[in-house]
């Protein structure tokens, strides 16, 4: 019964996001990447492929390299995109350095990540109530996964149209790993939680400073259809 409730909530959230949030994001990107100019994308935190499917609505021939540390989701992604040679998924996380990190698999897998949950957060309490479980039961599993710094994966001479980062409070570490060397990147999109859901997540202002120091400046903010969560797009100047 518990998992059926979570399944229904996930489906409902996905529907609401498609109608409100994704529609706005697609409209914005179609203005920027006109005439199928969205050619090369890095997707950090693929989850179930929501962003990959969105990018295909902008350009069906876009080349995408994705990172998903959850092994069960990774297996599903491999099957889902097995017939598309322009999509490559790695069963890896992204962080500041290469190595291993403890991964917290949330019962609502969209919220899984490397940051420890703050159980005193009002948003965590509200989320738990919606899911019909106790806050302490939000984390279903904990295990170590392999992680890489994006600067070790990307080639300096290649041009990347967009890097999308959705890593539940671990964005700062992913960006630090990215900016270890110069990569030609046009846009960076990442999710911002305006709450205290995670214990050690870095303040948004510090993330902005890191982006500004590397030549990226805020272009657009698009609010999600639930929670105090935004996606922010930064452009290289």
Query: Are 184 and 151 in contact, with CB atoms under 8 Å apart?
Result: no
pLDDT in tens, 64-90: 999 999 999 999 999 999 999 999 999
pLDDT in tens, 17-37: 888 899 999 999 999 998 778
Q: What is the largest CA-CA distance in the chain?
A: 52
Left, alpha or beta for 209 (phi > 0: left; psi -120 to 50: alpha)?
A: alpha
Query: Are 104 and 169 in contact, with CB atoms under 8 Å apart?
Result: no
pLDDT band at 2 (very low <50, low <70, confident <90, very high): low
Q: What angle do helix axes 23-32 and 50-58 make, rounded to 10 degrees? A: 40
Left, alpha or beta for 71 (phi > 0: left; psi -120 to 50: alpha)?
A: alpha
pLDDT band at 180 (very low <50, low <70, confident <90, very high): very high
Q: How far is CA 100 from the centre of its chain?
A: 19
Contacts of 84 (CB under 8 A, 6+ apart): none
Burial of 129: CB neighbours in 10 Å, binned 0-12, 13-18, 19+ = exposed
Give CA angle at 11 (223, 196), nearest 5°: 45
Q: Of 65, 72, 67, 63, whose CA–CA distance to 91 is shortest?
A: 67
pLDDT of 1 higher than 60:
no
What number of H helices and E strands is found in the chain?
8, 10
pLDDT in tens, 120-170: 888 888 888 888 888 888 999 999 999 999 999 998 878 999 999 999 999
**In terms of pLDDT, which residue wins out, 12 or 85?**
85
**In terms of pLDDT, which residue wins out, 49 or 228?**
49
pLDDT in tens, 184-219: 999 999 999 888 889 888 999 999 999 999 999 999
What share of the chain has pLDDT > 70, as a percent? 99
């Amino acid at each position: 019964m518990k998992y059926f409730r979570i399944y229904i909530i996930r489906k409902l959230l996905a529907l609401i996001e498609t109608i409100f949030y994704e529609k706005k994001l697609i409209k914005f990107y179609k203005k920027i990447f006109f005439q199928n100019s969205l050619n090369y994308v890095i997707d950090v935190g693929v989850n179930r492929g929501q962003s990959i499917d969105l990018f295909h609505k902008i350009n069906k021939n876009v080349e995408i390299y994705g990172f998903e540390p959850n092994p069960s989701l990774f297996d599903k992604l491999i099957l889902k995109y097995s017939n598309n040679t322009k999509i490559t998924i790695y069963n890896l996380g992204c962080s500041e350095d290469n190595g291993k990190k403890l991964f917290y698999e949330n019962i609502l897998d969209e919220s899984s990540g490397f940051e420890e949950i703050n159980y005193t957060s009002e948003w965590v309490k509200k989320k738990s109530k919606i899911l019909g479980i106790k806050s302490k039961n939000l984390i279903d599993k904990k295990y170590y996964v392999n992680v890489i710094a994006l600067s070790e994966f990307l080639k300096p001479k290649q041009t990347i149209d967009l890097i999308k980062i959705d890593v539940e409070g671990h964005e700062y570490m992913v960006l630090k790993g990215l900016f270890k060397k110069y990569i030609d990147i046009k846009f960076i999109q990442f999710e911002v939680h305006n709450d205290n859901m995670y214990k050690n997540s870095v303040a948004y202002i510090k993330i902005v400073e890191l982006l500004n120091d590397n030549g990226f400046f805020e272009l657009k903010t698009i609010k999600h259809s639930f929670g105090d969560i935004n996606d922010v797009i930064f452009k290289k100047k």
